[in-house]
Amino acid sequence: MTVAIDRLFVDENDRELYDRLETTDMFAGKTRKEQFLFSLAVGFSRGIKRPIQKREGFFLAKDMTLDDEALFSAVAASDADSVEVLPDRAKVFRIAEEYAHAGIRILVDEIDSTQYGTFEKNLEKQLHDMYDRIGVATKREQSGSTPN
């Protein structure tokens, strides 16, 4: 079976979850691509990915910017622990879809378990903590990886 790589897929059951995101201030007015990216990030940060059972097209690949594609690729390389995955666009997309599939459920659960308005606050705190952790790494990375 030829897998189309002109679009990104979600599990058909996830569509309703993505729709529910709309009710949260932070996600109001976000595009499908942006919702997908956020879910992918959540899934990746938790290290959880789930294979999609029933694929359903979610947004078109042409809508992705270079920055978005770079994130997809980075996630795929990290997931495969090899950059060899990079030329395989279908695989890169599949990895992204699986992280997003896991991420959207986590995200909706978190939103549902908090009071209105507190999700953003919790997220902010969480990000500051993560930033503190990665901030050192970032500096280290940057100081050690500055191109000559």
Partner 1 sequence: MRIEKLVLRNYRQLRDVQLALDRQGPNDLHIVIGRNGTGKTNILNAINWCLYGDEPHLSKHSEQLPRLNLGCIEDAGHGGHDLQVAVEVWVKTEDGGTLIFERTETYRIGGDDKEPLRQDTHFEARVTDDKGNTKILVDDEASYCAERFVPQSIREFFFFDGERLDRYFKEATSQHIRHAVFELSQIHVLQSVEANLDTVLKDLRKDAGKANPAIEEVGDALEATEAKLAELDRQIEMCAQQKSLAEDKIAEYQEQLRGAPDAGALEEERRSLDTRNKEKRKRLEESVREKHELLFDHAIRIQVWDAIAESLSTIDEKRQKNEIPPTVDTALLEAVLQDGSCSVCGRALDESSVKHVGAVLDEIRLTSDIAKQLLNMENPLRRHAEKLGRFRGEMTKAAREIGDYEADLAAMERRKREIDAALDGYDVLRIAEWHKERSKFEETRDTNQKQLGALEARRQILTRELGELQNRLDEQLKKEAKVAELRAQISFCARALETIRGTKQAIMRDTREEIESETRRLFFALAWKSATFGDVRIDENFNISLIHSMGYECLGTASAAERELLALSFTLALHRVSGFDSPILIDTPVARVSDSHRVSFGQVLLQVSAEKQTVLLLTPAEHSDDLAQVVDARSSNRLALKLSADEREVRVEVL
Please report, as ranges, the residues that interact with partner 1 according to CB under 8 A. 25-27, 30, 34, 37-38, 40-42, 44-45, 65-67, 69-71, 73-75, 77-79, 83-84, 86-87, 120, 123-124, 127-128, 130-131, 134, 137-138, 141-142, 144-145, 147
Q: What is the closest distance, in whole angstroms, from the C-beta atom of residue 66 to partner 1 in the complex?
A: 5
**CA gap 25, 22 in Å, rounded:** 7
In the complex, minimum distance from the CB of residue 54 to partner 1, in angstroms, rounded to a whole number: 26
Of the pair 1, 148, the CB lying nearest partner 1 is at 148
State the nearest-atom distance from the C-beta of 116 to partner 1, in Å: 13
Q: Choose between 1 and 143: whose C-beta lies nearer to partner 1.
A: 143
Residues 10, 57: Cα–Cα separation, whole Å: 6
Side chain identity at residue 113, one-letter code: S
CB of 48 to partner 1, least distance (A): 12
Q: Which is nearer to partner 1, 2 or 148 (CB)?
A: 148
Tokens (6 digits) for 121: 């606050």
Give, for 85, the enclosing helix (H) or strand (E).
none
Residue of 83, 12, 11, 86 lying closest to 43 (CA atoms): 11
**Residue 41 to residue 31: CA distance in whole angstroms:** 15
CA 99 to chain centre: 6
Residue number, 53 or 113, with CB nearest to partner 1: 113
